Amino acid sequence: MAHPGEEQEWVEARVESWVETYKKSMLTPVVLRAVAERQPVTVASVAAAVAASTGWQITERSLYRTLKRLQDSGLLHSAEVDVPRTGAKRKEISLTGLGAQFLAGITASLVEFPVPESGGAGAKRSVPE
């Protein structure tokens, strides 16, 4: 029988591998939710929201690619706006109607189930079906 520390390391490695494999596809609903909750929002605010809600450290390049893909798909809209006092331009991102429908569809497809007692009483987790 494996040592409990070895089992924990094995589980942590499998979880990390799973997250790394599926992070790109999971990033879409996370970004859409971050934008929906704070819109209009800057790219920096989206990055902070993703890190705060998931603990993931994503590269700026990865975030910009994801935002561009979502904008090209019609799920997000961006606009250049003047920054108060400086007059510089800043990009602000908003969810489109299509994006709101898409996010609602993803959210409706999530299954919630209670976390086992060792994970905290009454806590819930969402997972895709």
Residues whose CB falls within 8 Å of the CB of residue 20, separated by 6 or more in sequence, listed in order: none
Q: Is the pLDDT of residue 120 over 70?
A: no
Check residue 84 and give its pLDDT.
81
Query: Region 5-12: what's the mean pLDDT?
Result: 88
DSSP 52-113: HHH-----HHHHHHHHHHHHHTTSEEEEEEEPTTT--EEEEEEE-HHHHHHHHHHHHTEEEE
How far apart CA 70 and CA 64 sit, in angstroms, is 10
Check residue 56 and give its pLDDT.
83
How far apart CA 126 and CA 110 sit, in angstroms, is 6
Q: Is the pTM of this model over 0.85?
A: no
Question: pLDDT band for position 2 (50/70/90)?
Answer: low
Out of 63-67, 75-79, 101-105, 117-121, pick the least confident.
117-121
How far apart CA 126 and CA 129 sit, in angstroms, is 9
Question: pLDDT band for position 86 (50/70/90)?
Answer: confident
